[in-house]
Amino acid sequence: MIPTMNLADRKILVTGGAGAIGTNLCRALLDRGAQVIVLDDFSSAYRWNVPRHPGLAVVAGSVTDDDALKSVFRQGPSLVFHLAALFANQNSIDNPERDLSVNGMGTLKALQYSHLSGVERVIYASSGCSVYGHAPVPLVEDYNSLELDTPYQITKMVGECYCNFFKYYYDVQTVRCRFFNSFGPGEVPGAYRNVIPNFIYWAMSGRPLPVMGDGRQTRDWTFVEDIVDGLLRAAASPEAAGDAFNLASAKETHIIDMAHAVLELTGGGAGIEYTPMRKWDTKRRLLASIDKARRVLGYEPQTDFRTGLERTVAWFRENWEQIQQSTKF
């Protein structure tokens, strides 16, 4: 049983708090009475998507910017959720130096300031789709790989290494949460974004869905509220300190089945077009083991894929005008 953390009036920093996972996490923290500080440079996020709440303060700035970091850490957060990152694989291939700066140096700086400020715990957003390389499924936490395909995968592993360094050398409590294919309300589509929001946007815009390869690849899509639940548990569990946990659905879904479900739920009539695979996209299957998260965190996904997709499409319909204005490809 995971102890309940009393978050009332606690100050909590969420880097990348204007992103899809960040905004959902902020809402959950605010609902529990926390005072939330968001640090985000809004390079791939939007202010309209950030909760408006008297308990939430937003600082516009990068995790690579010392002035911005001093501004947020001066406010005395006791917990840090480090979600800020340059996302994701193709973006890192096109912009490898920026990827290294944000995901490498940005993580190092966040950990340095957390150490110097006496932060109780840092929860780091890693990527289970990255750090395991081409390990056989189901993917388990005690396996890591150096056979990585993109700069993004490399820098996510670098972030984990820095977390381990600060744990061993400075006794900073770090928890590495490895996300798998997060999706849900709050994720605005666009260039370098995830496939589900892009597919919903294209289907609602009357465009065909570009399925790469034969579409029989599988992904472990995880509803964003389940990711958030895992993050909160990682912050609360004494046994989690210094460890890594998969946050996933532990279920496989074929990409082609996801595409058909998007067309059905949106009423999209333009169908599917098959396109060549990207050079780096070589994983046929993604499936995580969540046995460790169940045992240590009490984590258990609550939202099945179909229900999560329905809720995501509903969010698109409710925010369609703002999404159209914000989306850039």
Report the greatest alpha carbon distance in the chain.
Answer: 57
Q: Closest by alpha carbon to 72, among 119, 22, 29?
A: 119
Give the integer Cα–Cα distance in Å for 66 and 199: 37
Cα-Cα-Cα-Cα dihedral sign, residues 156, 19, 253, 262: negative
The catalytic residue among 113, 124, 132, 152 is 152
User: Pick from 103, 106, 165: which is nearest to 130 by CA?
Assistant: 103
The DSSP element (H or E) to which 233 belongs, if any, is helix 224-236
Q: Where are the alpha helices (DSSP H) in 237-287?
A: 255-266
- In angstroms, the CA 219 to CA 131 distance is 15
3-state secondary structure of 316: helix
Q: Decide the pairing of beta strands 182-183 and 209-212.
A: unpaired
Please tell me the number of Cα atoms within 13 Å of 103 on its side-chain side: 28
- Encoded tokens for 109: 């700086």
**Cα three-residue angle 196-81-61, rounded to 5 degrees:** 85
Helix-helix angle 151-170:106-117, to 10 degrees: 20
**Dihedral sign, Cα of residue 155, residue 201, residue 323, residue 312:** negative
Cis preceding linkage at 138, omega within 30? yes
> Is 201 one of the annotated active-site residues of the chain?
no
Give the pair of three-digit tokens for residue 200. Answer: 């919903």
Question: What is residue 27's three-state secondary structure?
Answer: helix
Catalytic residue positions? 152
